C-alpha cells in the first residue's frame, strides 16, 4: 500500500457532475488517488447550487456538494474553448483514469471520443456512467435518480404497500452506480498491469439498481413471482422487521429456526403450532407481527434490547442521523473525518466505509482533504502541467 492509500500515485481526471460520477471519483480519492475535478467556470458542478441547506458566509456552500467531493482538486475549464480542450488533452496524457457521466455522445462532440482518448493515452481507464445504458433502445435518456428508482423497479419493492411505491431516502441509484463504477475501475487498473492498456468501464443507474435486486430478482426470473412492497417486514423471513414496545420501536431478525427456538423459549406465549416453521410464519406474517407486538408491549426498550442480546436474537434501535453521528461506534470505525475547509474552517464529514488492516486510517489515507471551492486549484494544476513532462 502506498503511503496515502492503496491507490497512491493514481491520477484521476473527474469530468463528472451531480452525484454518480463524483461519488465514484471520491471513492478513488478516498483510497489515495489524486483526483482533479474539472468544472464549468460559470457555476461549477450542479450540486454547488443544490439546497438548502447552504452554510458559510452568505450561505455560499452547499452541504450536498460537500457530501461527494472530498479529496479532490477543482480546476475550472471551458471545454468548448480551444484553451480548455488543450488543458484537458494534457491532463488526459498524464492520467490513469477519466470519469465522465455525460449523456451518450456529448464527450464525442467535444472531440474526446474513446478512440481519441486512447490515442492520447493507451493506458487510460475510462469510466462512463449513464442513466439507462450507453446503447439500446433507450440508451440516450437522461438519468435522474428517482426516475431510475421507479423505472428499475426499486420503488415497487419499497414502501408500506404495493399501492404506495416509495423512493429510498438517499439517491441510491446514483450512489450504487458510483460504487459499481469505482469497482470496475479498480479491476481495469489491475488488468492494465498485465496488458499495458486501459479499457472503458460502463455502468448506469439502471444497471446498478437491477444489480442489487438480489433475491427479489430471482423471485421473478426463476419462480415467476412479481414481488411487491412489504413495508418494514421481510418478505421471506418472519419475524424480521420493525416492532413496537412500551416506549418505542425496535427491529429484530429471527433468521433461523435455532433463533426462533431461543426466541420462543424467552417469550413462551409465542410458542404456537401454527408458527412452527419459517414458511408457516411467513404465510401468517400479520398474525406473527401482532403476536410479537403484543408481547413486546409489556417491555421498555432499555430492558428489551439487553434481553434479546442475552438470548442471541439480533436486534437494534431505529436511530435518527444525529444519534448515528454522535454514536461512538460510528466514529470508532472511521466513518467521520475532520477536514479544514477554505471557507468554512474545520468541519466534519461522513467518511469512507473502508479501512485496511486493523488500525489503518479510513480509506487508507492518513489525511483527508476538504471538498474544494470552485477553481481553487486551477493555477496550481496548470503550473504542475507546465513542470511535468
The rounded distance, in Å, linking the Cα atoms of 197 and 175 is 28
Q: Which residues are catalytic?
A: 174
Q: State the CB neighbour count (10 A cutoff) for residue 58.
A: 6
The rounded distance, in Å, linking the Cα atoms of 39 and 55 is 21
DSSP bridge pairs for 90: none
The grid cell for 39 is: 468544472
Residues 94, 386: contact at Cβ < 8 Å? Answer: no
φ, ψ dihedrals at 204, nearest 5°: -150, 165
Cα 300 to Cα 229, 247, 267, 307, distances in angstroms: 30, 6, 15, 11
> What strands, in cross-sheet order, belong to the sheet with 34-39?
73-76, 34-39, 11-14, 97-100, 125-130, 200-204
The rounded distance, in Å, linking the Cα atoms of 300 and 315 is 14
Please choose, from the candidates 180, 184, 204, 200, the residue with its C-alpha nearest in 3D space to the C-alpha of residue 131: 204
**DSSP output for 14-58:** E---SSHHHHHHHHHHHTT-EEEEEE-TTT-SGGGG--S-EESGG
The rounded distance, in Å, linking the Cα atoms of 234 and 255 is 10
Residues 102, 95: contact at Cβ < 8 Å? Answer: no
The rounded distance, in Å, linking the Cα atoms of 289 and 285 is 6
Amino acid at each position: 500500500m502506498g503511503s496515502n492509500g492503496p491507490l497512491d500515485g493514481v491520477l484521476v481526471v473527474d469530468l463528472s457532475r451531480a452525484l454518480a460520477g463524483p461519488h465514484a471519483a471520491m471513492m478513488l480519492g478516498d483510497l489515495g488517488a489524486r483526483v482533479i475535478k474539472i468544472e464549468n467556470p460559470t457555476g461549477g458542478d450542479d450540486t454547488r447550487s443544490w439546497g438548502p441547506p447552504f452554510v458559510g458566509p452568505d450561505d455560499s456552500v452547499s452541504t450536498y456538494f460537500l457530501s461527494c467531493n472530498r479529496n479532490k482538486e477543482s480546476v475550472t475549464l471551458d471545454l468548448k474553448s480551444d484553451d480548455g480542450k488543450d488543458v484537458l488533452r494534457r491532463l488526459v496524457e498524464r492520467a490513469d483514469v477519466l470519469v465522465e457521466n455525460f449523456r451518450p455522445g456529448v464527450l464525442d462532440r467535444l472531440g474526446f471520443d474513446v478512440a481519441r482518448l486512447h490515442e492520447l493515452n493507451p493506458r487510460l481507464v475510462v469510466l462512463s456512467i449513464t442513466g439507462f445504458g450507453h446503447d439500446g433502445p433507450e440508451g440516450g435518456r437522461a438519468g435522474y435518480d428517482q426516475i431510475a428508482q421507479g423505472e428499475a423497479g426499486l420503488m415497487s419493492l419499497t414502501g408500506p404497500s404495493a399501492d404506495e411505491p416509495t423512493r429510498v431516502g438517499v439517491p441510491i441509484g446514483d450512489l450504487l452506480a458510483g460504487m459499481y463504477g469505482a469497482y470496475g475501475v479498480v479491476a481495469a487498473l489491475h488488468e492494465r498491469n498485465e496488458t499495458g492498456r486501459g479499457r472503458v468501464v460502463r455502468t448506469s443507474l439502471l444497471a446498478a439498481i437491477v444489480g442489487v435486486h438480489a433475491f427479489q430478482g430471482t423471485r421473478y426470473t426463476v419462480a415467476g413471482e412479481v414481488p411487491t412492497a412489504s413495508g418494514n417486514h421481510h418478505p421471506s423471513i418472519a419475524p424480521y422487521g420493525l416492532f413496537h414496545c412500551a416506549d418505542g420501536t425496535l427491529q429484530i431478525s429471527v433468521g433461523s429456526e435455532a433463533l426462533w427456538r431461543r426466541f420462543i423459549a424467552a417469550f413462551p406465549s409465542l410458542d404456537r403450532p401454527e408458527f412452527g416453521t419459517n414458511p408457516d410464519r411467513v404465510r401468517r406474517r400479520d398474525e406473527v407481527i401482532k403476536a410479537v407486538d403484543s408481547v413486546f408491549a409489556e417491555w421498555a426498550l432499555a430492558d428489551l434490547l439487553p434481553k434479546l442480546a442475552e438470548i442471541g436474537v439480533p436486534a437494534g434501535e431505529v436511530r435518527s442521523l444525529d444519534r448515528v453521528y454522535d454514536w461512538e461506534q460510528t466514529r470508532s470505525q472511521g466513518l467521520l473525518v475532520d477536514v479544514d475547509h477554505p471557507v468554512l474552517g474545520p468541519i466534519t464529514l461522513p467518511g469512507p466505509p473502508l479501512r485496511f488492516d486493523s488500525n489503518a486510517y479510513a480509506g487508507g489515507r492518513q489525511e483527508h482533504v476538504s471538498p474544494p471551492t470552485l477553481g481553487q486549484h486551477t493555477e496550481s494544476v496548470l503550473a504542475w502541467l507546465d513542470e511535468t513532462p
